[in-house]
Chains A and B, each alone.
Chain A
């Protein structure tokens, strides 16, 4: 990382604030147009960066509204390559993950240096991938996985308080896991299975007294309130979870709710995995 770069003052540019005709008065929630179990459409392509050992590009369908951006991720894998001489011996491949939001990817402009939330995402991704890679096939070597989030999954029309950042991060992480798995396969690094990420959320659409429902692949702006969400990295043929990230507020007495949420998260990652395997098959053909 370049520590010598002199950054412009943080927050010097103000994002444009558009007159929000719809959200005058009460917040309107557009509502979900998909079935609870349906994920958004996803576009995945490998081999987009010829100079990298492996690369992939992922795009999530934008929601029905114009002006709302989907998720656009670009991942490049460099390696496996020899570790520098100074590095200690490693019997396994040394994995390093970098996730960076482009400065213009979100409503609030991001700086050039990675902020704590991006580092946090990087650790999540590392945990998800390390379970999938057969690390002892590549001793004394390292691989860098670099993901840039070209466009974050944020709705311009939602107010700041409504679209909580944490839920967006989960969506981004799920995409990162899927795109990184595609890029790893493109780079020819041995994996036990294709890992893919999926998100499920417990949402409350009809006011505070309504019964919460579980939806797959949620868009925060579609729902009035998200009670809990989980992001899961899942290996379908081994039926194993490599990374589980849950956040929310659930009564402990109701384990079923939690179990269902995890099940739906797995369903979401199965959906993503279908796209992933199809994409890889296409590439081979």
Chain B
């Protein structure tokens, strides 16, 4: 599913949308504030056959389901890895914290009506898994012992046809599914073949709750969320709908997570002051989304319109061409050309990462979802 598919809006509509979104404050077609998301209905734990699952539904009927399945897999050891095992008895790999590999997580995205090998879907899946894998601490959680690890399959299914670019919806659903994911409690020790506790109630969460028993030192890391932000004129708009994206000057997908930086050595792990306002946000990935606005049909100014006015049909098309290339006329849509200014890109990222800003509130709201 490419962001550029199926944009069919008339030049007059595009000009109107662009004008209303460029106002300060912008007037969005559905009346939302610039940072406001569409209201959504969310629930988790809907699929008993999975390790974790979630469903999110928009008011317009767009709906996504994510199921997380975990399997025990034998860790393939490379030729130089074997050397590590021989020498490993000296405890250079600390307990519970081996190195993870990107291949331990497999993510698939399915969108109805789109071919399996569609590039846009591959792009979406790559974007969602990129955020997940950029957080090195995440794959490390899947480590069981030196010979085995969990292989995590994340299957993201969009139930309804995509009415807008589905990235934020899929990302939020994945986030909730991962929050509700539990892995069976390990009973075996060391490097022996793992066996697990049958009691599902005792299974720990992949992302431990902060309000559990050990509140003091539990890591506050959360799965990443990927937000779609776009800029029109001087305005920064979150969670754009399809029409809004069609007039975007630039659109970015930004993956952010909250919690302690896992790239630091565990020895430097500083207990976080969770009481203070705002989380310790970390930027994981940014991608430019090709805005569909570049593919929109340009409007024709009245002055150049051969079907305009009483002198219709008298102007040559050559003249019309000349004016189409010329100066912008108010009220006439022109597809943006070129890229985005550095300042705009910087402002977009800054706005996302703002302390106590949108990301914080989204994470708060996601934490409020009952994890069944």
Interface string of B277-288 (1 = CB under 8 A from A): 000111111111
14 inter-chain pairs at a CB distance below 8 angstroms, sorted by A residue, are: A117-B126, A119-B123, A123-B2, A131-B294, A160-B78, A161-B81, A235-B339, A240-B338, A243-B288, A246-B283, A246-B285, A249-B134, A252-B281, A262-B345
Question: Which residues in chain B, 274-303, are within 8 Å of chain A measured between CB atoms?
Answer: 280-290, 294-295, 297-298
Residues of chain A touching chain B, judged by Cβ–Cβ distance below 8 Å, are 1, 17, 20, 23-24, 90-92, 114, 116-117, 119-120, 122-124, 126-127, 130-132, 134-136, 159-161, 164-166, 192-193, 208-209, 227, 230, 233-235, 238-253, 255, 258-259, 262, 266
CB of A255 within 8 A of CB of B288, answer no
Complex alpha-carbon distance, A131 and B250, angstroms: 10
CB of B288 within 8 A of CB of A266, answer no
Complex alpha-carbon distance, A241 and B249, angstroms: 12
Contacts of A247 in B (CB 8 A): 130, 134, 284-286
Complex alpha-carbon distance, A239 and B338, angstroms: 10
CB of B126 within 8 A of CB of A252, answer no
CB of A252 within 8 A of CB of B282, answer yes
Of the candidates B268, B281, B289, the one whose C-beta lies within 8 Å of that of A127 is B289
CB of B125 within 8 A of CB of A116, answer yes
A169 to B: closest C-beta gap in Å: 10
Contacts of A132 in B (CB 8 A): 338-339
CB of B281 within 8 A of CB of A208, answer no
Q: Which of the four size classes fits the interface of chain B?
A: 35 or more
CB of A123 within 8 A of CB of B78, answer no
Contacts of B125 in A (CB 8 A): 116
Of the candidates B135, B256, B298, the one whose C-beta lies within 8 Å of that of A136 is B298
Complex alpha-carbon distance, A119 and B264, angstroms: 33
Contacts of B272 in A (CB 8 A): none
Asked if B346 is at the interface of the complex by the 8 Å CB criterion, the answer is: yes
Asked if B252 is at the interface of the complex by the 8 Å CB criterion, the answer is: yes
| Interface of B: prevailing SS | mixed
Asked if B318 is at the interface of the complex by the 8 Å CB criterion, the answer is: no
Contacts of B136 in A (CB 8 A): 249
CB of A164 within 8 A of CB of B102, answer yes
Complex alpha-carbon distance, A1 and B355, angstroms: 47
Of the candidates A20, A234, A249, the one whose C-beta lies within 8 Å of that of B263 is A249
CB of A241 within 8 A of CB of B339, answer yes
In the complex where A123-B2, A242-B338 touch, is A249 in contact with B282 (Cβ < 8 A)?
Answer: yes
CB of B283 within 8 A of CB of A252, answer yes
Contacts of A230 in B (CB 8 A): 286
Contacts of A119 in B (CB 8 A): 117, 119, 122-123
CB of A249 within 8 A of CB of B284, answer yes
User: Which of A24, A243, A266 has the largest number of chain B CB atoms within 10 A?
Assistant: A243
Asked if B337 is at the interface of the complex by the 8 Å CB criterion, the answer is: yes
Complex alpha-carbon distance, A120 and B179, angstroms: 27
Complex alpha-carbon distance, A262 and B349, angstroms: 12
Contacts of A193 in B (CB 8 A): 338
B178 to A: closest C-beta gap in Å: 17
In the complex where A91-B298, A233-B339, A240-B341 touch, is A248 in contact with B285 (Cβ < 8 A)?
Answer: yes
Complex alpha-carbon distance, A165 and B126, angstroms: 13
B3 to A: closest C-beta gap in Å: 9
CB of A131 within 8 A of CB of B123, answer no
Closest 3 CB pairs of A and B: A242-B339, A252-B281, A240-B339
Question: Which residues in chain B, 293-349, are within 8 Å of chain A measured between CB atoms?
Answer: 294-295, 297-298, 324, 335, 337-342, 345-346, 349
In the complex where A245-B288, A250-B282 touch, is A135 in contact with B294 (Cβ < 8 A)?
Answer: yes
B267 to A: closest C-beta gap in Å: 9
CB of A251 within 8 A of CB of B282, answer yes
CB of A116 within 8 A of CB of B286, answer no
Complex: chain A residue closest to B251, CB-CB: A127
Complex: chain B residue closest to A238, CB-CB: B338
CB of B261 within 8 A of CB of A159, answer no
B348 to A: closest C-beta gap in Å: 10
In the complex where A250-B282, A266-B342 touch, is A244 in contact with B130 (Cβ < 8 A)?
Answer: no
Contacts of A1 in B (CB 8 A): 117
Contacts of A192 in B (CB 8 A): 337-338
Asked if B265 is at the interface of the complex by the 8 Å CB criterion, the answer is: yes
